[in-house]
Amino acid sequence: MALIQITEPGQAVDPHQRKRAAGIDLGTTNSLIASVREGQTETLQDVVGNSLLPSVVHYGADKNGASEITVGAAALAKATTDPMNTIASAKRLLGRGLAELAGTEAAEQYAFVPVQEGMVQLQTAAGSTSPVQVSAEILKTLAQRGSETLGGELDGVVITVPAYFDDAQRQATRDAAELAGLQVLRLLNEPTAAAVAYGLDSGDEGLTVIYDLGGGTFDVSLLRLSRGVFEVLATGGNASLGGDDFDHRLMSLMRAKLTPDLVLSPSLNRRLLMQARFCKETLSTEATVNFELTEGDLHLTGSISRAEFEDAIADLVDETIRSARRVMRDAGLGEEAVDQVVLVGGATRVPLVRAKVESYFGKAPLTHIDPDRVVALGAAMQADVLVGNKPDAEMLLLDVLPLSLGLETMGGLVEKLIARNTPIPVQRAQEFTTFKDGQSAMLIHVMQGEREQVADCRSLARFELKGIPAMVAGAAKIRVVFQVDADGLLSVSASETGTGVTAAVVVKPSYGLSDQEITQMLKSSFAHAQEDAEARMLLEARLDAEQLTEALRSALAQDGEALLSDEVRLGLFQGIDQLAQVAGGSDVALIKAETEKLSQASDPFAALRMDQEVRRALAGHTLDDVLPVESS
C-alpha cells in the first residue's frame, strides 16, 4: 500500500527541512537582516563582520558611460566627493511628492526631476531613479547577504515599517521588495517587532510602551503582551522626525560657530553633515567635542558642548513626548499604568532623549537589547513562524491602523469609515446614496488622515461605480466596504444593493508605482542581469585592488626602509603602479591576476613585519614569562 506524506500548508515536505526566512529592518540610516539559526536569533554579518549596512546608494558612471551602483559603506565613502549622486535617507522620501518635500533638507540636498504628480524622482549620473528603486538596491544587498549566509535563496522575509507609515509609504516599501525579488510574508510595524524581540526574550507580560526614534522616523506604541499575544492598543508618531533632524540642528549650530556667511559647496555641506553626525554620537558619552572643516585653503575649527546640542534639539524631543502623551490618552490610560518602556532606534542613545522618557513615564527604560538590532531580531522571529518553521508557535500580532480611512463626501468633506488605532485586519461597511436625480454613476474617492476636509488629507485612490439605476436623489443604496489586511494595506469595493452592480479597487496609492512600472523595472532587471553581474564583478575586483594598494603603500611608508632593500622596495612600488593602471580598465581577469601577483610579491614583506612585531612584544621578557607554567 502506497503512503502519502501529508504536510500543513506552508510547511516543508520534509519535516526536518527548515525554510530560509529572514527579518529585514529597512532603516533610514542603517539597515539590517536577521534570521533564526539553530534556535538562536541573530543579525547576519557581511564578509568583514559588520551587521549594519549604511542605507546609502551611489549612482555613478564609468569612463565608458555605463552606470555603476554601489551600496552601503562603499557608497557612504563617496558622500563627500560626489554628494549629488549619493542618495542617503531614501526612506524619508518613500511615497512623497515634490510639494511635500518643499522647504526640507532633502529639497536642497538632491536634484529632483520636475514632475507634477506622483513620487519624487532623483536625477543622478546614472539617470533618474526613485526612492523605491534606491530602497530596492539596499534590499537586494541584504537579500544577497542572507542567501550567502543561509546557503540558498530566501523563502520569505518580514520587512519592518514605521507604525506611522501611511498606505502610500507601505505600498512603496512593498514595491521595493518586489523589485528586489523578495517574497514578503508580512510588513510588520517596527514597534511591534521590537515587542516580539523583548517579549519572547524576557517573557515579560503587561503594558509596554515602545518608544522608537530612528534616523528618519518616530513611533510610539502602547502594547499589551500576554501569552504570546501582542496587542497594539494605540500608536502615534511622526514619519518625518528622527536622528537626521538632530544632525541638521547640530549642523546649523556648527555653521554658526564657524562663520554664518560661509557659502558651502555641496561637497563641503555633506562633509559638515557627516561631522555633525559624528559629533552627535560623541556627545552621547562626552561633555564636549571638537570639529574641523577643511577644503583647499579653508581650515575652520570649533567645539560643541552637550548642553548646546541639547538646547538645539529640546523642542524635537518634547514633540516625541507629546506624541507619547496622545497615545496614552487614546488608550484611556495614565502613564503610571505602563509596566515597562522599551527604547528602539539609534537616536535613543542621546542622553536627553533617555532622560525625558524616564521623566515622563517615571521609570528607567529597558535598553538591554541593542536598539539598532532589536527591530530586525523581532522581524526574524516573526518570519520564522510565518514561513512555517514553527507550526506550533503561539504568537499572535494584533496591530492597529495608524491613520483613519474614509471617503470624500459632498462639500469636500471626509467621512471616516475606519478610525485610527483600530486593530487590523479589519473590514467595515457603510451605505451611501446619490446626490442628484437620475444619477447613474458615483466617483468613490478614498482618503486617509485625521482632518475633516479633503484638502487636508491624503488621496489614496479614485474609482467609479457605474450602472446605478436612474432614481430620484437619495433612493439608491450604495454599500462601500473597506478591508485592511495584516500589512495595513487597503482594498475598497462598492455595490448598488438593488441591482448588485459592483466596482472595486486594491488601493495602489498615487505615490506608489503602477503594476506596469514594476513589471517594466523587473523586465529591465532581468534583461540586464548579465550586464549587472559583470559590472558587479568589475567593481569588486577594483575594490580588492584598491584595498591592497592602499594597505601596501601604508606598510611601505612605515617599515619599508627598515626591512627591505632598495631593489625590493622599488619592485613593490612598481607593482602598485602597475595594479593601479590595470584597475582603471575593465578586464576583470587581468585585475584579479595583477592583484594576486602583487599580493604574493608582498607576502615576504608581511612576514618580516610580523616577525618585527613579535620581537617588539617579547622585548624585555624571558621564556618563563611567555611559556605556560606546568602544574605539579
Task: Enumerate the active-site residues.
Answer: 25, 91, 190, 212
C-alpha to C-alpha distance for 14 and 369, rounded to whole angstroms: 34
Contacts of 21 (CB under 8 A, 6+ apart): 35, 36, 154, 155, 156, 157, 158, 185, 380, 383, 384, 386, 387, 389
**Separation between Cα atoms, residue 534 and residue 542, nearest integer Å:** 12
Specify whether the CB–CB gap between 275 and 293 falls below 8 A. yes
Cα torsion 536, 542, 544, 550: sign: negative
Return the bridge partners of 58, or none.
Answer: 70, 86
Cell 564609468 locates to 62
Which residue is associated with the grid cell 467621512? 415
Sheet of 405-409, strands arranged across: 413-418, 405-409, 441-448, 458-466
Contact between residue 185 and residue 291 where contact means Cβ atoms under 8 Å apart: no
- The Cβ of residue 628 has, within 10 Å, a number of other Cβ atoms equal to 5
Question: Read out DSSP for 210-272?
Answer: EEEE-SS-EEEEEEEEETTEEEEEEEEEETT-SHHHHHHHHHHHHHHHH-TTPPPPHHHHHHH
290: β partners: 303
Residue 356 has, within 13 A of its CA and on its CB side, a CA count of 22
CA 324, 330, 336, 341: dihedral to nearest 10 degrees?
-40
Which residues are CB-neighbours of 146 under 8 A, at least 6 positions away?
Answer: 20, 22, 33, 35, 44, 154, 157
Strands 206-213 and 218-226: antiparallel
**Burial class of residue 40 in the structure, from the number of CB atoms within 10 Å of its CB (0-12 exposed, 13-18 middle, 19+ buried):** exposed
Q: Are 431 and 477 in contact (CB under 8 A)?
A: yes
> What are the distances in angstroms from CA 363 to CA 228, 347, 355, 366, 380?
24, 19, 10, 9, 29
> Pairing between strand 340-344 and 206-213?
parallel
What is the rounded CA–CA span in Å between residue 71 and residue 241? 24
User: DSSP 3-state assignment of 574?
Assistant: helix
Q: Which residue has the cell 625590493?
A: 568
Residue 597: name the closest of 557, 548, 561 by CA. Answer: 548
Cα–Cα distance, 256 to 414 (Å, whole number): 45
